[in-house]
């Protein structure tokens, strides 16, 4: 999706477009400038020498290329009159910069380079307005009063894009709930919490200010700070949280909010599941991994010294808000880790995610781009679809069910363990998927191109695709004791072609070892 600015000549498309692109961290293309670069001539020279028809043809090609950029695009004032260009606009945000003819005449009169305005500026502008305004009105998805200072116009467009871009994914659990994805959606969660007498907001230290800002809008809210990372998922922290709720006099009509990464939401969800045998829980995941994976599916829990996630419960949230505004300060390694899970969803169920990565991997690593929002949304839809059909990991024999989400995870868990949990989870999953692809190739389930696609897509977003720091025999024995290994039999999720996961046991040991050698 691109953000397209339309409007009469001198309505500020270039200035506003450049400023908007800077704020969004996206490219900016002015179709007139693109045409001038391509032809080496000024627009008015093309008009004078080759006529308007010729210019409109050049403009059509330039518009198609600019719209494919996924950035901010300023369409030349008359471009919108070309039917073929209007036909390109569905799916894009088309913002009309509306400025009165009087103001435009004043602005344009000072700029004598515009081809259609050389004589009688006022009369020309009125005539253009009469022809074009009805078309702008019809074509724009939104109109902004563009007689304000540029910063205010940009701020209003940003607000509009935020509200226009909210996606709601419905999860069909025992009690169905919504996952809201978009900028500013935390405020929608706040709306749902209004009127609740007591609300505990669990958060890590780094999100104290965000949590406090949320609490300020909810008179019944109290903050509980949990340690960052896995240190949050301990029985000691759990005990502290339970007691804080007890001391505050929580009842079953009160609520718990988990605001943080997957460790915070796992802890908060489990506190909600267990306190008073179950309190309403609201999830506000703030890392890519937590949004793409931890927030949907109802799994909550804490670790024991004996192992990760050994104590837990299924407890569905009342609502989940994936507010993209929270991701701005997330370290790039955390973003890449979450992308590992998003791309996993691409391999097991939605190849459009892989296409997004192939088209523009840079855009995918930037959480403020529309491409990132789309990939995240698609991943959440994949997880939602899988868990809706298999709420409690009880798929029938012969069906892969929720286990599909474990793609790449068997080797990943072993790597995480032998590396003492110093590896980002998504990075380990990336290596695990390449391993699984190599196994599938050897079993005749994937072809060479499909295996190459694993390496290409994962590497393009900065994830590792090889690993050789450990002996196979060591990793193999760790894999046998994985919680999900079902006894001592190693069961791997493999793809029978992209988008078709299956789970296989009893894979020949030499084939596994050979596959491991291939990722070294």
Residues carrying an active site annotation: 277, 299, 341, 383, 393, 402, 406, 409, 413, 425
User: How far apart are CB 312 and ligand NAD at their closest, in Å?
Assistant: 8
User: How far apart are CB 399 and ligand NAD at their closest, in Å?
Assistant: 20
Q: How far apart are CA 388 and CA 402, in angstroms?
A: 9
User: How far apart are CB 425 and ligand NAD at their closest, in Å?
Assistant: 6
Q: Which is nearer to ligand NAD, 356 or 427 (CB)?
A: 427
Q: Is 286 in the site for ligand NAD (CB under 6 A)?
A: yes
Q: Is 260 in the site for ligand NAD (CB under 6 A)?
A: yes
Q: Which is nearer to ligand NAD, 93 or 286 (CB)?
A: 286
Q: Are 454 and 347 in contact (CB under 8 A)?
A: yes
Kind of pairing, strands 491-495 and 501-505?
antiparallel
Binding mask 351-390 for ligand NAD (x = CB under 6 A): ----------------------------------------
- Among the listed ranges 104-112, 273-281, 287-295, 496-504, the one in contact with ligand NAD (CB under 6 A) is 287-295
Residue owning tokens 């999100």: 207
Q: Which is nearer to ligand NAD, 14 or 309 (CB)?
A: 309
User: How far apart are CB 391 and ligand NAD at their closest, in Å?
Assistant: 12
User: How far apart are CB 262 and ligand NAD at their closest, in Å?
Assistant: 2
User: How far apart are CB 334 and ligand NAD at their closest, in Å?
Assistant: 5
Structure token digits, residue 473? 């025999």
Residue 302, strand partner residues:
311
User: How far apart are CB 184 and ligand NAD at their closest, in Å?
Assistant: 14
Structure token digits, residue 451? 């295996």
Q: Is 204 in the site for ligand NAD (CB under 6 A)?
A: yes
Q: Is 153 in the site for ligand NAD (CB under 6 A)?
A: no
Q: How far apart are CA 52 and CA 75, in angstroms?
A: 16
Q: How far apart are CA 64 and CA 24, in angstroms?
A: 21
User: How far apart are CB 453 and ligand NAD at their closest, in Å?
Assistant: 24
With contacts defined by CB under 6 A, how many residues of the chain interact with ligand NAD? 28
Q: Are 377 and 181 in contact (CB under 8 A)?
A: yes
The burial class, CB within 10 Å (0-12 / 13-18 / 19+), for 364 is buried
Binding mask 223-252 for ligand NAD (x = CB under 6 A): -----xxx--x-------------------
* DSSP conformation letters of 196-212: -S-EEEEE-GGGHHHHH
Local structure of 427: helix, strand or coil: helix
Q: Is 304 in the site for ligand NAD (CB under 6 A)?
A: no
Q: How far apart are CA 438 and CA 445, in angstroms?
A: 10
Q: Is 159 in the site for ligand NAD (CB under 6 A)?
A: no
Q: Are 180 and 167 in contact (CB under 8 A)?
A: yes
Q: Is 297 in the site for ligand NAD (CB under 6 A)?
A: yes
Q: Is 283 in the site for ligand NAD (CB under 6 A)?
A: no
Q: How far apart are CA 73 and CA 96, in angstroms?
A: 12
Q: Is 329 in the site for ligand NAD (CB under 6 A)?
A: yes
User: How far apart are CB 430 and ligand NAD at their closest, in Å?
Assistant: 14
Q: Is 334 in the site for ligand NAD (CB under 6 A)?
A: yes
Q: Which is nearer to ligand NAD, 156 or 309 (CB)?
A: 309
Q: Which is nearer to ligand NAD, 278 or 497 (CB)?
A: 278
Q: How far apart are CA 43 and CA 49, in angstroms?
A: 10
Q: Is 346 in the site for ligand NAD (CB under 6 A)?
A: no
Structure token digits, residue 94? 């088309």
Local structure of 260: helix, strand or coil: strand
Q: Report the residue from 105, 274, 287, 384 that binds ligand NAD according to the rule CB under 6 A.
A: 287
Helices (H), 142-200: 150-164, 186-193
Q: Report the residue from 16, 85, 330, 453 that binds ligand NAD according to the rule CB under 6 A.
A: 330
Q: Report the residue from 15, 309, 460, 502 that binds ligand NAD according to the rule CB under 6 A.
A: 309
Q: Is 39 in the site for ligand NAD (CB under 6 A)?
A: no
Q: How far apart are CA 361 and CA 36, in angstroms?
A: 29
* 105: number of Cβ within 10 Å: 20
Residues recorded for the chain:
520
User: How far apart are CB 260 and ligand NAD at their closest, in Å?
Assistant: 5
Binding mask 262-281 for ligand NAD (x = CB under 6 A): xxx-x---------------
Q: Report the residue from 78, 261, 280, 408 that binds ligand NAD according to the rule CB under 6 A.
A: 261
Q: Are 71 and 21 in contact (CB under 8 A)?
A: yes
Distances (CA, A) of 412 to 330, 380, 458, 517: 23, 21, 14, 15
Q: Report the residue from 179, 181, 289, 412 that binds ligand NAD according to the rule CB under 6 A.
A: 289
Positive or negative torsion for Cα 27, 31, 32, 34: positive
Kind of pairing, strands 255-260 and 221-225?
unpaired
Q: Report the residue from 35, 88, 97, 294 that binds ligand NAD according to the rule CB under 6 A.
A: 294
Q: What distance lies between CA 130 and its chain's CA centroid?
A: 41
**Interface with ligand NAD by CB under 6 A: which residues?**
204, 206-207, 228-230, 233, 260-264, 266, 286-287, 289-290, 293-294, 297, 299, 309, 326-327, 329-330, 334, 337
């Amino acid at each position: 999706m691109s953000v397209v600015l339309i409007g009469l000549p001198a309505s500020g498309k270039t200035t506003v477009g450049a400023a908007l692109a800077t704020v969004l961290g996206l490219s900016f293309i002015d179709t007139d400038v693109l045409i001038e670069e391509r032809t080496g001539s000024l627009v008015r020279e093309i008009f004078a020498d080759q006529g308007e028809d010729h210019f409109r043809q050049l403009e059509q090609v330039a518009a198609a290329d600019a719209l494919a950029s996924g950035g901010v695009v300023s369409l030349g004032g008359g471009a919108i009159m070309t039917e073929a260009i209007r036909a390109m606009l569905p799916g894009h945000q088309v913002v009309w910069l509306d400025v009165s003819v009087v103001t435009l005449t004043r602005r344009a009169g000072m700029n004598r380079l515009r081809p259609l305005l050389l004589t009688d500026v006022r009369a020309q502008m009125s005539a253009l307005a009469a022809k074009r305004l009805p078309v702008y009105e019809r074509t724009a998805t939104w109109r902004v009063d563009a007689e304000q200072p540029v910063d205010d116009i940009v701020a209003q467009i940003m607000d509009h894009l935020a509200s226009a871009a909210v996606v709601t994914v419905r999860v069909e659990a025992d009690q169905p709930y919504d996952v809201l994805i978009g900028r500013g959606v935390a405020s929608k969660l706040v709306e749902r919490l209004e009127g609740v007498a007591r609300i505990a907001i669990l958060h890590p230290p780094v999100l104290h200010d965000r949590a406090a800002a949320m609490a300020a809008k909810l008179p019944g809210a109290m903050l509980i700070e949990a340690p960052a990372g896995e240190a949050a998922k301990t029985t000691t922290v759990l005990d502290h949280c339970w007691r804080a709720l007890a001391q505050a006099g929580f009842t079953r009509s009160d609520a718990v909010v988990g605001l943080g990464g997957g460790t915070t939401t796992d802890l908060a969800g489990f506190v909600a599941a267990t306190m008073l045998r179950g309190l309403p829980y609201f999830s506000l995941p703030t890392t890519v991994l937590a949004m793409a994976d931890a927030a949907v599916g109802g799994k909550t829990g804490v670790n024991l010294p004996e192992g990760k996630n050994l104590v837990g419960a299924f407890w569905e949230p009342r609502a989940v808000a994936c507010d993209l505004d929270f991701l701005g300060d997330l370290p790039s390694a955390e973003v890449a880790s979450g992308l590992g899970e998003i791309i996993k969803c691409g391999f097991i169920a939605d190849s459009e995610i892989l296409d997004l990565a192939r088209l523009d991997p840079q855009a995918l690593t930037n959480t403020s781009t529309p491409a990132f929002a789309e990939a995240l949304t698609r991943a959440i839809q994949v997880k939602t679809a899988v868990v809706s059909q298999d709420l409690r990991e009880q798929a029938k024999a012969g069906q892969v069910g929720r286990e599909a989400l474990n793609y790449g995870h068997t080797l990943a868990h072993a790597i995480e363990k032998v590396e003492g949990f110093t590896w980002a989870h998504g990075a380990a999953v990336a290596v695990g998927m390449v391993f699984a692809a190599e196994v599938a190739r050897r079993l005749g389930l994937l072809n060479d191109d499909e295996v190459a696609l694993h390496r290409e897509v994962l590497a393009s977003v900065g994830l590792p695709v090889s690993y050789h720091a450990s002996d196979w025999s060591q990793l193999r024995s760790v894999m046998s004791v994985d919680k999900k290994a079902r006894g001592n039999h190693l069961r791997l999720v493999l793809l029978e072609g992209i988008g078709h996961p299956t789970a296989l046991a009893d894979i020949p040991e030499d084939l596994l070892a050979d596959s491991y050698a291939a990722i070294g």
